């Protein structure tokens, strides 16, 4: 059995005619997964004796845990992902950007409550989906505590999980998140460089089923491992602001290439 379960990070689950939420960051479409591909991935996981369950969930003997997470709170998660999860008896974490609740393309409070009632785990993705490294201590404390409090007030449940938005974090963010009452802190790195957080593998559009199988089993292809090392080095050399601008341009170009391949 796996000691540390693999955590998968999804964003949009889309159909061929889905509208793009206008508040999305540039290049976010690279992480959109078509509903049919998502269904195929979840069914494959079940066939391979994996169960999508929360970190606290109890598994039957002979089953492997995979942690499925969704960032941002897009309405397509409710429309497309939830029915598949319900059908298979899977749980997942849905991380909500609080200030986008009810905005065009994002879930409203009634839909989030339905996720809650379907035994899904709800967590915070911050108030504004900004890079948390940019915040001073007082601003960061507000981002962490107010998003948590707003979710708790509207959903009447304890919120103890956080997904750090935009992929940038440091010791200060992790420490202050724990101080704000978060038990599980998810980040975008597949293999986090800091302790006290949970790494995730970002599922990309047009993954083959064999690539998904590698992710399920905690395997990282050599090319992706080298690319991850290069990204980490580039982040340190450029700093998070300059790196983020460069990253948006690269992801935006990749999305345009995928669109032409449709």
19-74 pLDDT, tens per residue?
Answer: 889 888 877 888 999 999 999 999 999 999 999 999 998 898 999 999 999 999 99
Q: How confident is the model at residue 253 (pLDDT cuts 50, 70, 90)?
A: low
* Cα 124 from Cα 10, distance rounded (Å): 15
| Strand ranges in 104-183 using DSSP code E only, listed in sequence order | 121-124, 161-163
In eight-state DSSP terms, residue 20 is P
**Structural domain contains residue 245:** no
Q: Give CA torsion, residues 108, 114, 116, 119, to 10 deg.
A: -150
pLDDT at 132 over 70: yes
For 161, the domain range is: 6-222
CATH of the domain at 207: 3.20.20.370
**Structural domain contains residue 254:** no
Q: What pTM did the predictor assign?
A: 0.88
Do residues 260 and 253 make contact, with C-beta atoms less than 8 angstroms apart? Answer: no
pLDDT at 87 over 60: yes
3-state SS, residue 184: strand
Q: How confident is the model at residue 225 (pLDDT cuts 50, 70, 90)?
A: confident
Q: How far is CA 9 from the centre of its chain?
A: 4
pLDDT at 248 over 90: no
**Structural domain contains residue 79:** yes
3-state SS, residue 149: helix
Higher pLDDT, 9 or 25: 9
- Counting the structural domains of the chain, the total is 1
Cβ neighbours of 131 (radius 10 Å): 17
- From the list 30, 28, 31, 12, the residue with the least C-alpha distance to 80 is 12
Please compute the mean of the pLDDT values over residues 86-95 and round it to a whole number. 98
Look at residue 29 in the predicted model and tell me its pLDDT. Answer: 87
In eight-state DSSP terms, residue 218 is T
pLDDT at 2 over 50: no
């Amino acid at each position: 059995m796996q000691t540390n379960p693999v955590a998968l990070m999804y964003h949009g689950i889309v159909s061929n005619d889905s509208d793009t939420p206008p508040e999305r960051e540039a290049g976010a479409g690279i992480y959109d997964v078509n509903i049919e591909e998502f269904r195929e991935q979840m069914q494959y996981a079940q066939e391979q004796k994996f169960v999508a369950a929360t970190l606290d969930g109890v598994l039957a003997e002979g089953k492997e845990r995979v942690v499925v997470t969704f960032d941002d709170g897009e309405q397509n998660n409710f429309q497309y992902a939830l029915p598949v999860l319900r059908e298979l008896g899977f749980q997942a974490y849905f991380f909500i950007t609080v200030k986008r609740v009810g905005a065009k393309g994002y879930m409203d409070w009634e839909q989030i409550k339905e996720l809650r009632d379907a035994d899904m785990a709800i967590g915070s993705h911050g108030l504004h989906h900004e890079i948390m490294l940019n915040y001073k201590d007082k601003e960061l404390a507000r981002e962490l505590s107010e998003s948590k409090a707003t979710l708790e007030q509207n959903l009447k449940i304890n919120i103890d999980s956080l997904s750090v938005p935009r992929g940038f974090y440091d010791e200060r963010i992790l420490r202050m998140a724990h101080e704000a009452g978060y038990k599980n802190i998810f980040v975008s790195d597949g293999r986090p460089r800091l302790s006290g957080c949970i790494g995730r593998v970002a599922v990309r559009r047009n993954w083959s089923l064999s690539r998904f199988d590698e992710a399920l089993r905690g395997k990282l292809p050599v090319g992706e491992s080298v690319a991850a090392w290069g990204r980490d080095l580039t982040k340190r050399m450029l700093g998070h602001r300059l790196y983020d601008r460069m990253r948006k341009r690269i992801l935006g170009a990749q999305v345009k290439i995928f669109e032409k391949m449709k």
